[in-house]
Structure 1
Amino acid sequence: MKKYKIAWKSLGGVKSASFRYRALLPCKYLKQQGWSCEIFKPKNIEQYQIVVFQKLYDEESLDLVKKLQSKGVITIFDLCDNHFFYRLEDPDALVERTEKLQKMLDLANVISVSTPELQKTIKLKTNKIPIVIDDAIEPPKINILFKNI
Structure 2
Amino acid sequence: MPIQPGDPIPEVVLKHIDGGIQTIDTLTLFDDKKVVLFAVPGAFTPTCSERHLPGFVKHFDAFRARGIDVACMAVNDPFVMKAWGDSLDVPEGMLMLSDGNGDLARALGLEMDASAYGMGTRAKRFALYAENGVVKQLFVEAPGEFKVSSAEHVLANLE
Give TM-score, length-normalised by structure 2: 0.29
Q: Which has the higher contact order (CA 8 A, sep 6+)?
A: 2
Give TM-score, length-normalised by structure 1: 0.31
Structure 1 or 2: more helix by fraction: 1
